[in-house]
Structures are given as C-alpha cells and as structure tokens.
C-alpha cells in the first residue's frame, strides 16, 4: 500500500495472507494488520524525532506531541504544518514561533522514538523530568462515570476491533460520556493524538478525564499533566515513577480499572 494513499483517507490496515494452525489443522486465511509507518517531525527545517505510528490523525499528533513535549505553549505557536508522504514514510514540516526553537534544543534526541515515547532518545537524565505547571484544581471523580466510559470504550475502538493491535485513549466528560477517541499502535501516540484533538476542538480539559487502554507509566502521566486534566484512568498497571509524578503534579491517578473496580493510586 502506498503511504501517500493512507494519509488522507483513513485507511489504517492492510489485509495479508497468513497460515494459521488451529485444532491440529493448518489453513490459509486473510488477516487484517495495522499499518505502521515512520513519521519524521521536522521543526523549522531541523529534524527532531522519528516516531513509528499509524498514518492517521497526523495533525492531531503534531499538536499533541508538541504540547506534551513542552515545545509549544499553545496551538498558536505552530504557524504551519505540511505533510510530505514518500516511499519511506511521512515527513512533517512544522513551522513554529522562533521562541520555540530554544525549547526544541533543550529536548534533543539521538535516536528514533520507536513507540512514540516522549523520553526515548534524550541525551541526558536531567531532561527526563522537566518543569511543568501543577494541576491547579481538584477534579471530582465519579465512579459511575468511569464505569460508563469503560462499558462504552470497546465499541469505539475501530482499529483494535479490526486488527487487535491498537491502544486507545479517550477523553471522557464528567458524566461518563466519551467525547473523543484516538487509537494507535503506540500508547504514547494515541494519547498525543487525543490531546491534540482536545486542544484543536477547544474542549475545556477541566470538564473531563482521560481514559487509556494502556498501563500508567511516567510519561503517560507527564502527558496528561501537560493536557491539564485532573484525572488519568488506565486499564493496566501503574509504575512507581508514575505515582510519584502524579503526587507531585496534583493529578489523580487510577489504574487497573474495570467496571465496578478502581484502584486509586493518587488522589
């Protein structure tokens, strides 16, 4: 499949032939496999990072990644975005306010971020924990709202239903209504795409929470703080560093969530 054909028309999978062994029998079947391509983010002419992800919602990703990485302070800092697909992947030429270049220099990378992680490739341990503004409000968590979102989440995971290979991130209203869904092969990219969409649509992030299908690792909390949400809910496990950061940043953190079950690690 040509990469140029999937940037605009939302194709996210390819059908491939596979030999399947089941109950003592080999058979030929057709399987749907998630499309993954390298996406190079180039700020003001300088290559910053290469991320492996699906070629969908790239504009959302650019805004979300730029915000959660602290490269920009608001969407207005980005002056233009141009997608340039080629046979090797997708190059994204991003023109930002000159003041942002200093921040980009402070987040240098020496390698590709293979899963869309905001930390991979940094050349100094001091760059891992960066300064962020604390969450300045107390989000009121409602167990029924989390349950409702969990119940509705599976039906909205189109990529995962088709391929079984995608993580999802959701923005959920305080009533439990899923307002936005973004999926990707990497959990970090799915979250960045969601955060980019939240800001592009000018949704007040204080009016809801983020739910993800992944674990709650440090950088997922860091991104949620950058999005200015008061609660991050994950379906899998947390890490010690994620819990520590959540406490420092005053964001509520729930993990191992299922319908009728919540482990609240911070808040």
Bind-site residues: 256-261
Contact (Cβ atoms closer than 8 angstroms) between residue 214 and residue 187: yes
- CA–CA gap between residue 201 and residue 241 (Å, rounded): 31
DSSP codes of every residue in 8-45: TS---EEEEEEEEEETTEEEEEEEEEE--EEEEEEETT
Give the contacts of 201 (CB within 8 A, at least 6 positions apart).
180
- Asked if residue 209 lies in contact with residue 167, where contact means CB atoms within 8 angstroms, the answer is no
Which position has the token pair 């496990």? Answer: 237
Residue 21 bridge partners (DSSP): 26
Contact 121, 113 (CB under 8 A): yes
Q: How far apart are CA 130 and CA 132, in angstroms?
A: 6
3 state SS of 260: coil
Is 117 catalytic? The answer is yes
- Selection from 259, 118, 244, 106 nearest residue 192 by Cα: 118
DSSP 166-213: -EEEEEEETTS-EEEEEEESSHHHHHHHHHHHHHHTT--GGGEEEEES
Q: Catalytic residue positions? A: 117
């Amino acid at each position: 499949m040509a990469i140029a054909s999937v940037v605009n028309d939302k194709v996210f999978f390819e059908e491939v032939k596979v030999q399947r062994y089941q109950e003592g029998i080999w058979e030929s079947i057709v399987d749907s496999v998630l499309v993954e391509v390298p996406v190079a983010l180039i700020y003001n002419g300088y290559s910053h990072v290469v991320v492996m992800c699906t070629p969908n919602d790239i504009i959302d990703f650019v805004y979300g990644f730029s915000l959660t990485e602290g490269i920009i302070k608001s969407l207005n800092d980005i002056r233009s975005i141009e997608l340039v697909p080629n046979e090797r992947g997708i190059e994204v030429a991003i023109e930002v306010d000159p003041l942002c270049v200093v921040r980009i220099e402070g987040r240098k990378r020496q390698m590709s971020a293979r899963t869309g992680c905001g930390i991979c490739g940094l050349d100094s341990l001091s760059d891992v924990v960066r300064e962020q503004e604390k969450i300045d409000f107390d989000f009121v968590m409602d167990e029924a709202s989390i349950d409702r979102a969990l119940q509705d989440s599976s039906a909205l995971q189109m990529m995962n239903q088709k391929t079984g290979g995608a993580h999802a991130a959701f923005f959920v209203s305080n009533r439990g209504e899923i307002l936005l869904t973004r999926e990707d092969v990497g959990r970090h990219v799915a979250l960045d795409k969601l955060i980019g969409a939240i800001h592009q649509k000018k949704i007040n992030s204080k009016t809801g929470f983020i739910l993800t299908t992944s674990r709650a690792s440090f950088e997922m909390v860091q991104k949620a703080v950058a999005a200015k949400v008061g609660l991050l809910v994950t379906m899998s496990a947390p890490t010690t560093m994620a819990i520590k950061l959540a406490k420092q940043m005053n964001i509520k953190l729930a993990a191992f969530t299922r319908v009728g079950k919540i482990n609240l690690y911070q808040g």
